[in-house]
Structure 1
Amino acid sequence: MTSMLQRLEDYYDAVPRSAARAEAFGPLTLFVREGDGWPYYARPALGRTGTVSAAEVERVRARQRELGVPEAFEWVAETTPGLRAAVEESGLVVHEHPLMVLDGEGERVPAPDGVTVRMVGADDPVLPSAAAVPYAAFGVDPSPAAAAQLAARIDAGLTRLAAAVDATGTALCAGQHQPVGAVSEVVGVGTLPGSRRRGLGLAVTAALVADARARGGETVFLTATDADVARLYARLGFRTIGTALIAEPA
């Protein structure tokens, strides 16, 4: 395992713990969110050794069903190569996504006409609409407490939020990076359906990258949806170093 992939494994284990409890299942860890918000997932336990069986995957899935949370698993193919077979044997479908790390400082991207791209603080009037954008972008009903929870995370230094804001003060696109020490992941970049194909997502990602670097981020990474999206992120200086795998029921 390369030092970069190990650094990401450490991050993956650490970042959910600010909002979730960890339940141990031998070679797997299930993160269970405390309170409302995006649900978490199961992933390989940090420092685990040996293989994972389909029976062990099924134990986690049974617990997820008991808790009423999605039967979801996330991991990196290169660091846990044997997990895919066990997950698929249990009946889940595995999706592949490019795992990308930033080289250099990142490229600046100008905001489209009529839009301002900026960081959003906990007391910013645009926060409620910025908090709602990812839910609308991904077709999910928003949590009533989403804005308050996001404000609390911003205040605590756990999340940094950027948004593309129109002349009315409404967020059209928003995204976050979540720093843990010198590592931060860009997550949840989403654009309202009516505002897509304007370059807003790339501009917001560039703002998040600049903020992460300015705040001491030595490793900035993200997971692209597919190869086409990865080519867009490559314009900012990201390169693919592995494959992120996400498993869920068919």
Structure 2
Amino acid sequence: MLNRIEAYYDAVPRSSARAESHGPLTLFVQSGDGWPYYARPALGHTGEVPVEAVERVRARQRELGVPEAFEWVAETTPGLRAAVEATGLTVHEHPLMVLEGEGVPVPAPGGFAVRMVEADDPALESAVAAPYAAFGADPGPGTTERIAERLTAGLTRLAAAYDPTGRALAAGQHQPVGAVTEVVGVGTVPEARRRGLGLAVTAALAADARARGTETVFLTATDETVARLYGRLGFRTVATALIAEG
């Protein structure tokens, strides 16, 4: 299972980023506009990672003007954490969860509709904006167009929860690569939280992935409290995702 997820982690950024090899680490560098990527262990590397290798990647990230960020799975590359921490970065732990079975459907709360959103949907812009608003950010120019291109290419699947006026109050994505997909970017605008919209969107994404024949559906929870919510949908913790940023 973890090997399959590692292969996915190595493959999914390559649709919109270039991969730079730095010995035991791979640095993904965003091509054009969009969310900046991070460094990960090189696919297949499971041993120790020298502190010097982490420092070289951090220097390259500073040169590129991108965040000094690393993401990896603790159980797959246990030797990386000490090296990252030795350079002064703080490492955060997050439950890595995999969907068991077909998942549990969650009906939308009364007055709301949860559905998949396609590239030509008139409400696409609202669905793209909702997760950014959830984290107090702005999508930036061109974001809706980039998501539309990814939807058309089959690289991204998008679900959103709409109020009766047609405004998306929560949304999220899954990004299929072969038989594996990750649920990412689920967010609810602040004024609509605690209504179950994010959970309903996550359930819709999981159901869409299964309907498309995806064998492995996984996500990273913020913390154990959020993990318990995802557990109600059939997700189970299988490992620990580690994230470090400068």
TM-score between both structures, scaled by the size of structure 1: 0.97
Counterpart-to-counterpart distance in 2, 1:92 and 1:49: 20
Q: Which residue of 1 aligns with 2:204?
A: 207
**Which residue in 2 is equivalent to 1:34?**
31
Equivalent residue, structure 1, for 2:139 = 142
Residue 169 of structure 2 aligns with which residue?
Answer: 172
Q: CA deviation at 1:51?
A: 1.5
1:161-215 superposed Cα distances (whole Å, 9 cap, x missing partner):
0000111111100000000001000000000011100000000000000000000
Greater mean deviation of Cα atoms: 96-105 or 35-44 = 35-44
Aligned to 2:14: 17
Q: Aligned match of 2:3 in 6, 9, 13?
A: 6
Over residues 209-237 of structure 1, what are the superposed CA-to-partner deviations in whole Å (9 max), with x where a residue is unaligned?
A: 00000001100000000000000000000
**Aligned CA distance change for structure 1 residues 73 and 219 (closer, same or farther; 3 Å):** same
Which of 154-163 and 64-73 deviates more? 64-73
**Preserved contact between residue 46 and residue 77 of structure 2 (Cα < 8 Å):** no
Give secondary structure in 1 for the equivalent of 2:139. Answer: coil
1:86-101 residue pairs with structure 2 within 5 A? 86-101=83-98
User: Given the alignment of the two structures, is residue 83 of structure 1 paired with residue 80 of structure 2, yes or no?
Assistant: yes
Are 2:74 and 2:242, in contact at CA under 8 Å, matched by a contact in 1? Answer: yes
SS at 1:151's partner residue?
A: helix
Of residues 208, 214, 221, the one that matches 1:224 is 221
User: 1:55: how far off?
Assistant: 1.1
Answering whether residue 231 of structure 2 is matched by residue 242 of structure 1, we say no
Q: Please tell me the residue identity of whatever aligns with 2:230.
A: Y
Q: How does 1:45-60 map to 2 (within 5 A)?
A: 45-48=42-45, 50-60=47-57
Structure 1 portions without partners, runs of 5+: none
The alignment status of 1:110 with 2:112, answered yes or no, reads: no
The one-character-per-residue Cα deviations of 1:41-82 (angstroms, maximum 9, x if unpaired) are: 000000125321111101111111111111100000000001
Q: 1:49 to 1:234 in 2, by over 3 A?
A: closer
Alignment gaps of 5+ in structure 2? none
User: Which residue among 31, 46, 64 is the counterpart of 2:61?
Assistant: 64
Root-mean-square deviation (Å): 0.8
- SS of the residue 1:87 aligns to: helix
Contact map agreement 1:29 1:43 (CA 8 A) in 2: yes
- Percent identity, please: 78
Counterpart-to-counterpart distance in 2, 1:24 and 1:82: 18
Moved over 2 A (4+): none
Q: In the TM superposition, what is the alpha-carbon distance from 1:143 to its structure 2 partner? A: 1.9
Number of the residue aligned with 2:129: 132
Tell me the alpha carbon deviations over residues 13-45 of structure 1, each in whole angstroms, 9 at most, x when there is no partner. 000000100001000000011111111100000
What's the TM-score once normalised by structure 2's chain length?
0.98
Cα distance in 1 for residues equivalent to 2:208 and 2:34 = 24
Per-residue CA deviations over 1:111-133 (Å, capped at 9, x if unaligned) read: 01111000000010111011111
Distance 2:90 2:40 in 1: 15
Q: Matched residue of 1:176: which SS?
A: strand
CA distance 1:39–1:79, shift in 2 (3 Å): same
Is 2:178 the partner of 1:160? Answer: no
CA distance in 1, matches of 2:136, 2:37: 18
